[in-house]
Structure 1
């Protein structure tokens, strides 16, 4: 719990900065729902592999900041983790998550390139082990950071690379965490 209070303070300051830049202006970001698929692998150095496949739904919000350069959407997703067998012999885990994502586009929101990030919550259906340590909780925070490019007619398609970290922020021990590198393709309806 020691590291939790500074994290909350930093989060509150970030939200206050975003609120200060909020405008009701129309967003350059499309305002319709999109679906996405992701595939990736853990960033472990201990020789054990965990792969992940994800299907998700992105729900845009009307919130825009700084003249439409920053927008907000919510990602709801379902992931399947597959890992080498550990002491508990479980090899597959299902993760459900919900993450608010802030997206920045250069050129006042007109660029096809974007950077985005968010912190949300997720739940694993089993006790995941990383090396000799088990996650202390099935409920975890899910931190996402990505860069990508929109393309095609009306920017309906996107391709991005994401770094995702899943851990409980030290709320329950042990907290080994897991980090994934993922490739995302999305299509907006």
Structure 2
């Protein structure tokens, strides 16, 4: 909920300045208690940014397709997530903290020997620490923690937590 409130404040804040949107492609790998994942995706920067006393906030859309492999099945995950990035004033401009909550469809329903999702629709929320590099800041990496669950729409709702590494190439 605090992330959603921050997103609302950032989008509606006065004095927000236009930023030049960029598109990027990414690949990501992750591990969970009972699964491994491989993901490809595309992101698109929002056309604004906001400077606060603690740092600069930007945003982007992230769309992705992932494949989860567990001990008992393979599932495909398709998601769309709005994400906010904070570039803290006390850090180098190339470092960022990112968070987002998005909608995901995971089919067939995710099942392992220990966990069984009750819905194909799930939310995915993440928190990441990342760094941009390269002559035009066109490369970036991030270490991410992402949680998938259905927010108690239906039980059981065991959720799954992934530790992920992402490489992004900005155009």
> TM-score, length-normalised on structure 2?
0.89
**Which deviations, in whole Å up to 9, do the C-alpha atoms of 1:111-138 show, x marking residues without a partner?**
1100000000000110212444410100
Secondary structure of the residue aligned to 2:6 is: helix
Question: Given that residues 75 and 108 in structure 2 are in contact (C-alpha distance below 8 angstroms), is that contact kept between their aligned partners in structure 1?
Answer: yes
Greater strand share, 1 or 2?
Answer: 2
- Which of 109-118 and 10-19 deviates more? 10-19
2:44 matched to which residue of 1? 59
Partner in structure 2 of residue 50 of structure 1: 35
**Residues 145-165 of structure 1, C-alpha deviations (whole Å, 9 max, x = no match):** 100100001100001100010
Cα distance in structure 2, aligned partners of 1:114 and 1:11: 15
How far is the alpha carbon of 1:65 from its aligned partner? 2.0
Alignment correspondent of 2:9: 17
Note if 1:78 corresponds to 2:60. no
Q: In terms of mean alpha carbon deviation, does 126-135 or 157-166 score higher?
A: 126-135
- Structure 1: how far apart are the matches of 2:79 and 2:132? 24
Q: CA deviation at 1:14?
A: 3.3
Establish whether residue 155 from structure 1 lines up as the match of residue 145 from structure 2. Answer: no
> Can you give the 5+ residue segments of structure 2 that lack an aligned partner in the other structure?
none
Task: Give the Cα separation in 2 of the matches to 1:60 and 1:95.
Answer: 22
Question: Which structure is higher in helix share?
Answer: 1
Q: Is the 8 A contact 1:121 1:141 kept in 2?
A: yes
Report what 1:31 is aligned to. Answer: 21
Corresponding residue for 1:3?
Answer: none
Unaligned runs of 5+ in 1: 1-6, 86-90
**Cα offset, 1:104, TM superposition:** 0.6
Give SS of 2:9's match: helix
